[in-house]
Amino acid sequence: MKQFSKIVLIFLLIFTSCKSNKSTVDANIKNISTKKIINNHYSSNFDQKTVDAKINAKFKDDKTSVSFSIKLRLEKDKTIWMSATKFGFPVAKVMITPNRVLYYEKMKKTFFDGDFSLLSEWLGTELDYEKVQNILLGQAVLNLKKGKYNSTVTNKLYQLQPKKDIELFGILFFLNSDNFKINKQEISNKEKQQLLTVSYPDYNKIKGEQFPKNINIKAVDHKKLTTIDIEYRTVEFNEDLTFPFSIPNGYKEISLK
């Protein structure tokens, strides 16, 4: 189903490289250095082996509004697997590994089997497995320790912005001041009139782990707005998982260019 492929692909619409230091603060938030903010973010990094979750997802653009139920299985740094159903019937399945993206949908009987280079070209931005995984886990999609950032306080959130502008792109990270997890991450391309915002309105504490309760994705391309609202209904860690994936016979291969 086309809408499910859009959900999967907008998950993948993430960022390229970036850049720490100066800090300006608000009276209600503890005055700490940019380096400390970043270190605290990675101290709260997701530290479980697997995720087994059930998700409600709602997709909406100027023409369509549709909801799915999605089973998500994730083995950290190895595999992301999703199976979507509509009214209890299976409609699509996706499996992502560090080197491969597999996808098929049942309505049009089509499938895709490729690497991230094809998707990167189609989406116009560099992709890899780690960036997709970080979105699902509420982590910064870039390695903040490898860049240089200024920090300020905005609406009681720590805001990180590269000290040096990145060619074509504007990038912002907003971190919660209590748990240092990502509250929002944003990338913009003014030249192409594109804006992608991934927000995490709330987190649940599950077995000591701060894990997203919701993920809200907003993508603007010129004047076209696409939104995806994700709700984690159930989440289990460190279960024994399988990742069944077999492209049915007779399905037609598609190109995502």
The tokens describing 32, both together, are 């700490």
Strand spans (E) along the chain: 50-60, 65-75, 79-86, 89-97, 100-105, 110-114, 149-154, 157-162, 170-176, 182-189, 194-199, 203-206, 209-212, 214-221, 224-237, 252-253
Specify whether domain 2-235 bears CATH 2.50.20.10: yes
pTM equals 0.83
| DSSP assignments along 186-228, one per residue | EEEETTTTEEEEEE---EEEETTEEEESEEEEEEEETTEEEEE
User: What are the tens digits of pLDDT across the range 190-247?
Assistant: 777 778 888 999 999 999 999 999 999 888 877 788 888 999 999 999 999 999 999 9
User: What are the tens digits of pLDDT across the range 40-57?
Assistant: 999 998 999 999 999 999
Examine the pLDDT at 24 and tell me if it is beyond 60: no
In the chain, the percentage of residues whose pLDDT exceeds 90 is 50
Average pLDDT score, the chain: 83
Examine the pLDDT at 16 and tell me if it is beyond 50: no
Whole-Å CA distances, 88 to 4, 6, 85: 15, 20, 5
Enumerate the domain spans of the chain: 2-235
User: What are the tens digits of pLDDT across the range 145-195?
Assistant: 988 999 999 888 999 998 876 655 678 999 999 999 999 998 877 777 778
pLDDT value, residue 168: 53
Cα–Cα distance measured from residue 170 to residue 162, given in angstroms and rounded to the nearest whole number: 9
The tokens describing 149, both together, are 């950032």
List the end-to-end C-alpha distance of the chain, in Å, as a whole number: 17
Task: Work out the angle at residue 155's Cα, subtended by the Cα atoms of residues 149 and 156, and round it to the nearest 5 degrees.
Answer: 75
Contact present, 230 and 215 (Cβ < 8 Å): yes
